[in-house]
């Protein structure tokens, strides 16, 4: 019997209860909260400008207005980032997490590692969280463990190469450019290998999937089951923001979103409070963003990034 043939009752026997560690993180990390939001705050440090894959919905940008991933008011150096953390903690006592989520991929450049080493030294009480597309996760897992990453978010948009090739144009892996099905096959294999490696290091792993109508909207259960088997403990389905090469596609409807979450929940615990956070977000998700009080430099609205 295939995953898609399982009934909800049959699948519910596969879906495990949240782990003790996930229950503990639920009260400390706003992006791992179960049930209601926990009102804790996080600070995203935009220190990773480069990227090694090209998703068709992605358009990284420097501006103050857009509320979506891949956007920041400025890119920081690791030393500047530590200063931002210090100022942010003084503004809010509810900050519990230092995260790095772009605006590119955290593993494509060395700056996230440099930043986490400084953060661990100066703010050891803060949880350290990283988001990645997972292409280099298995390759970099020992260094990730060395800098003390507590929680990891990996974006896995498909586990079928033909469908992923409709979402992702190309990758750059170990100095070589790959496109189409070949790129998708490599990306999927490396993502799942990375999740398995991170789980072996006892990292708490959340997987994000962007829900793209007409491509993977009927496949969320398959994706969730696959990443759960690899070692993920939490799953987050993100509705597509029509943008870039996917600007012509419709955003998912509420019914599509609800169906996809229910499909995933047959196999894995589902996170339901995603806010499409910027790469420089500060504060509790959905609450007042403290970024305006931290990033005082006036930035011209322009896109200065490339996809490597």
CB contact at 8 A, 99 and 130: yes
Q: What is the pLDDT of residues 267-296, one digit of tens each?
A: 999 988 666 777 777 876 666 777 777 776
Does residue 291 fall inside a structural domain?
A: no
Torsion angle defined by CA atoms of residues 171, 174, 175 and 181, in that order, rounded to the nearest 10 degrees: -30
Mean pLDDT of 217-229: 96
Q: In terms of Cα–Cα distance, which of 32, 53, 138, 65 is closest to 102?
A: 53
Does residue 249 fall inside a structural domain?
A: yes
Structural domain for 226, as ranges? 26-279
The C-alpha atoms of residue 109 and residue 114 are separated, in whole angstroms, by 10
pTM confidence score = 0.85
Per-residue pLDDT at 23: 67
Q: What is the pLDDT of residues 21-79, one digit of tens each?
A: 676 666 566 666 676 655 777 788 999 999 999 999 988 766 565 666 666 768 899 99
> pLDDT-based confidence at 10, cuts 50/70/90?
very low
Per-residue pLDDT at 291: 73
**Number of folded domains that form the chain:** 1
Does residue 4 fall inside a structural domain?
A: no
The C-alpha atoms of residue 39 and residue 87 are separated, in whole angstroms, by 20
Does residue 301 fall inside a structural domain?
A: no
Does residue 296 fall inside a structural domain?
A: no
Kindly tell me if the per-residue pLDDT of 9 is higher than 60: no
Does residue 97 fall inside a structural domain?
A: yes
CATH number, residue 188? 3.20.20.70
Kindly tell me if the per-residue pLDDT of 184 is higher than 80: yes
Does residue 287 fall inside a structural domain?
A: no
Does residue 173 fall inside a structural domain?
A: yes
């Amino acid at each position: 019997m295939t995953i898609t043939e399982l009934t909800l009752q049959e699948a519910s026997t596969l879906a495990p209860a949240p782990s003790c560690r996930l229950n503990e993180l639920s009260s400390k990390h706003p992006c791992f909260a179960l049930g209601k939001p926990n009102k804790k705050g996080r600070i995203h440090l935009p220190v990773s400008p480069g990227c090694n894959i090209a998703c068709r919905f992605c358009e990284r940008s420097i501006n103050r207005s857009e509320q979506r991933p891949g956007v920041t008011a400025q890119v920081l150096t690791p030393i500047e980032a530590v200063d931002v953390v210090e100022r942010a903690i003084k503004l809010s006592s509810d900050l519990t997490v230092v995260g790095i989520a772009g605006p590119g991929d955290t593993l494509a450049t060395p700056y996230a590692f440099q930043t986490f080493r400084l953060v661990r030294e100066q703010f050891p009480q803060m949880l350290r969280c990283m988001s990645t597309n997972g292409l280099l996760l298995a390759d970099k897992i020992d260094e990730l463990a060395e800098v003390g990453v507590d929680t990891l978010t990996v974006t896995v948009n498909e586990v079928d190469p033909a469908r992923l090739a409709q979402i992702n144009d190309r990758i750059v892996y170990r100095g070589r450019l790959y496109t189409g099905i070949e790129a998708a096959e490599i990306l999927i294999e490396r993502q799942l290998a990375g999740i398995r490696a991170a789980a072996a290091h006892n990292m708490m792993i959340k997987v994000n999937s962007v829900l793209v109508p007409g491509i993977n909207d009927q496949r969320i259960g398959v994706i969730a089951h696959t990443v759960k088997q690899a070692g993920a403990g939490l799953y987050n389905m993100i509705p597509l923001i029509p943008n870039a090469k996917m600007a012509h596609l419709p955003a998912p409807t509420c019914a599509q979103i609800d169906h996809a979450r229910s499909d995933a929940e047959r196999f894995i615990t589902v996170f339901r409070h995603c806010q499409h956070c910027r790469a420089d977000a500060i504060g509790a998700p959905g609450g007042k963003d403290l970024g305006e009080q931290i990033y005082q430099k006036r930035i011209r609205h322009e896109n200065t990034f490339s996809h490597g």
